[in-house]
Amino acid sequence: MSEIKRSRCSINKESCPITNQGEHTAVTNFREYLRIPSVLPNADYEGCVTFLKKQADSLGLPIKVHSVVLGKPVVIITWTGLEPEQQSLLLNSHMDVVPVYPDQWTHDPFGAEKDENGNIYARGAQDMKCVGIQYLETIRRYIKEGKRFKRTIHLSFVPDEEIGGKDGMGVFVTTEEFKKLNVGCALDEGNPSPTEVFPLFNAERTIWQMRITCPGTPGHASLLHDNTAAEKVNFIINKFMTVRQEEKNKLQANKNLTIGDVTTVNITMMSGGVQLNVLPPKFILAVDCRLSLDRDLDQFLAMINGWCKEAGEGTKVEFILKGNHIPPTPLNEKNKWWTTLKGQLDTLKLEVKPQTMPGVTDSRFLRDIGIPAFGFSPMNRTPALLHDNDEFLNEKIFLRGIEIYHSIIQALANL
């Protein structure tokens, strides 16, 4: 936090006018958006849509609300380019945020309170309402400057990303309405960084989430029955933990690797049993795996099935989510989107580290249909507090992000 207090950045005050309260209007809009409790599982999407309609109206831009899944709107704000037949640029963000534990926060999670250092506290401050507003404010600045670009720019505000995105971007990309957008490239969320370095994501690991049922002999806990559920679940846990330790060792042995370069395995839930002195008829494990890009998915599946067979009769795996391998967005000279983006980042003299996203975002749905997508949130010198208590973003870092987007978005839109 001390780094943020000392941070300096160049802010264009003309493009971000100051209100009577001494606050940049971009920050005021950001805080207003943060105060909408779009928290899952009952996100206030109606409040978000109302807010975004007001923003589109202030920009003089058309807005469409698509109800592909009832109660889960996809909002598209469009700024038509000079050559609308060209492939468009998509600026994507999600409206939903994860739940909070208010008693563990020092500020109201939906109050968007700003402290004396300019830190703005709220759920979604980093993940990712900041980016959505930075897009809007960047477009506002272009319009004020009288600029027009070759390509059409679409701003998408989608639901349900925090629970997998199936009812948001996942279904929207299959619609005719999405195809009409004619997207050639997309920007989406990245991660904050506590250092000077900006992470930039061009790939994501494959997510597998599964439930493993381990049945066994029930009975009295004073006996030593064979074929118990506990013995089977112990076997399965040990197998997963062995893989987990191998990947942990790999990460620790190579300082050039990031968490996105290895496979992560975690037991997240376990259920079974009704009473202390009764052997349960089954235990159920929930396992979350994020498979690295170099992991052979068929081999990994065969390994899990083999463990279940070896554990004993009736042990079975059921997949809750079983993603497929999605090729990364290439970072080479053949990808004009990348060379243009990298050129602007180099011009800005930003230290950027391309890497694989450790989690999953809506970018995977875009990459899966062949659209280059870059995950980038301009938040360096910021502790990563996504999904954590007291999530915050400093207003100087936020405003500096608009400056960064001002450079890279126009370059991509004029490509």
User: Which one of the listed residues 3, 44, 83, 96 is annotated catalytic?
Assistant: 96
The residue to which tokens 């109201």 are assigned: 108
Eight-state DSSP code of residue 330? P
Interatomic CA distance for residues 106 and 119, integer angstroms: 13
Cis peptide before 41 (omega within 30 of 0): yes
How many other β-carbons are positioned within 10 Å of the β-carbon of residue 118? 19
The reply to whether 310 sits in an annotated binding site is: no
The reply to whether 196 sits in an annotated binding site is: no
288 catalytic residue (yes or no): no
Interatomic CA distance for residues 275 and 291, integer angstroms: 37
Cβ–Cβ under 8 Å, residues 373 and 367: yes
Cβ–Cβ under 8 Å, residues 359 and 258: no
The reply to whether 220 sits in an annotated binding site is: no
For residue 375, the number of C-alpha atoms closer than 13 Å in the C-beta half-sphere is 29
231 catalytic residue (yes or no): no
3-state helix, strand, coil in the chain (%, to 5): 35, 25, 40
User: Which one of the listed residues 32, 57, 137, 161 is annotated catalytic?
Assistant: 161
Interatomic CA distance for residues 373 and 186, integer angstroms: 5
Produce one character per residue of 271-282: b if its CB has 16 or more CB atoms within 10 Å, e if not: ebeeeeeebbeb
The reply to whether 94 sits in an annotated binding site is: yes
Angle at 390 between CA 388 and CA 394, to 5 degrees: 110
The reply to whether 189 sits in an annotated binding site is: yes
Angle at 145 between CA 400 and CA 10, to 5 degrees: 20
**Residues annotated in a binding site for Zn(2+):** 94, 127, 162, 189, 387
Give me the active site residues, please.
Answer: 96, 161
**Residues annotated in a binding site:** 94, 127, 162, 189, 387
